Amino acid sequence: MRKINGKRVVLPLVCVVLGFMIAFSYNLTKDGKGVVKDKAWDQEYELRQQLIEQEKQNRDLQNELLQKQENVSKIEKDLAQEKQLFFNLAKDTEKYRMFLGKVKVKGSGLQVTLEDGTDMDSEANVNNYLVHEQHVFKVVNELYISGAEAVAINGQRLNHDSYIVCNGPVITIDGHQHPAPFIISAIGDPDVLGASLDLPGGIKEQLVNENIIFTVEKQKNIIFDPIIGG
Above 70 in pLDDT, residue 6? Answer: no
At residue 114, the pLDDT reads: 95
Please give the Cα distance from 173 to 158 (Å, whole number). 8
- The whole-number pLDDT of residue 1 equals 46
Alpha carbons 186 and 197: distance in angstroms, whole number: 12
Q: What is the mean pLDDT of residues 9-33?
A: 61
Taking a C-beta distance cutoff of 8 angstroms, is the pair 227, 157 a contact?
Answer: yes
* Range of 101-105, 122-126, 134-138 with top mean pLDDT: 134-138
Q: For residue 146, report the phi and psi dihedrals to the nearest 5 degrees.
A: -85, 0
Burial of 8 (0-12, 13-18, 19+ CB in 10 A): exposed
